[in-house]
């Protein structure tokens, strides 16, 4: 092997090693069906900050600067405080049912929720595929959650991890 090719290979290996151990790199995730993610990037709920729904009362985009990897998905946040809150209590701040629309789950199907259509009920975040589903759920969350409780375990088993 020529010395120039060996040097190029050595440099490529070193750069790959630096990239792997570099702490400032973005979070990585394998895609999963258990959480609504972009199938190409692994980013959950279209990059919206799940904590902002509670703190700011609205759907706000997170940034790549503040990411975390949890449940096989990359989550984005607006700031380090939101990121830390999510990691301390993901069961509270993460969207219920992995971001799937509970009105559709109650009908027996899994449809990804749109992060722009949301309700916080009983201090939990729910995302909806359509405004009509959000409005129906908001009017009677207990009825929907009763139906979801019966259907979600079976539907969840059909989703790949």
Is 8 inside any structural domain?
Answer: no
Query: What was the pLDDT predicted at 110?
Result: 94
Is 12 inside any structural domain?
Answer: no
- pLDDT 10s digits, 4-33: 555 455 444 444 443 333 344 444 444 458
Query: When comparing pLDDT for 161 and 6, which is higher?
Result: 161
Query: What was the pLDDT predicted at 18?
Result: 35
Is 72 inside any structural domain?
Answer: yes
Q: Exposed, middle or buried, 37 (CB in 10 Å: 0-12/13-18/19+)? A: buried
Query: What was the pLDDT predicted at 17?
Result: 41
pTM: 0.79
Residue-level length of the chain: 161
Query: What was the pLDDT predicted at 1?
Result: 53
Query: When comparing pLDDT for 138 and 22, which is higher?
Result: 138
Work out the average pLDDT over 58-69. 97
Do 113 and 95 touch, CB atoms closer than 8 A?
yes
Q: What is the distance in angstroms between the CA of the first residue and the CA of the last residue of the chain?
A: 44
Is 37 inside any structural domain?
Answer: no
Domain that holds residue 120: 45-158
Task: Reply yes or no on whether the pLDDT at 90 is more than 50.
Answer: yes
How many CB atoms neighbour CB 49 within 10 A? 27
Q: Exposed, middle or buried, 105 (CB in 10 Å: 0-12/13-18/19+)? A: buried
Is 147 inside any structural domain?
Answer: yes
How many CB atoms neighbour CB 42 within 10 A? 19
The fraction of the chain above a pLDDT of 70, given in percent, is: 79
How many CB atoms neighbour CB 126 within 10 A? 28
Work out the average pLDDT over 43-63. 97
Number of domains into which the chain is organized: 1
How many CB atoms neighbour CB 47 within 10 A? 18
pLDDT tier for residue 34 given thresholds of 50, 70 and 90? confident
Q: What is the mean pLDDT of the chain?
A: 85
Q: At a CB cut-off of 8 Å and minimum separation 6, what does 34 contact?
A: 71, 72, 98, 156, 159, 160, 161
pLDDT tier for residue 133 given thresholds of 50, 70 and 90? very high
């Amino acid at each position: 092997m020529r010395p120039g090719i060996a040097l190029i290979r050595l440099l490529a290996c070193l750069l790959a090693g630096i990239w792997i151990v570099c702490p400032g790199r973005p979070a990585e995730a394998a895609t999963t069906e258990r959480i609504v993610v972009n199938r190409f990037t692994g980013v959950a709920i279209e990059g919206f900050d799940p904590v902002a729904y509670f703190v700011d009362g609205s759907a706000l985009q997170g940034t790549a600067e503040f990411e975390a990897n949890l449940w096989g998905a990359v989550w984005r946040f607006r700031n380090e405080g939101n990121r830390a809150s999510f990691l301390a209590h993901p069961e509270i701040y993460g969207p219920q049912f992995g971001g799937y629309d509970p009105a559709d789950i109650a009908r027996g199907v899994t449809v990804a929720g749109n992060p722009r259509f949301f309700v916080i009920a009983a201090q939990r975040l729910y995302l909806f595929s359509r405004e009509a589903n959000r409005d129906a759920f908001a009017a009677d969350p207990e009825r929907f959650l009763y139906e979801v409780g019966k259907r979600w375990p079976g539907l969840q088993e059909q989703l790949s991890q």
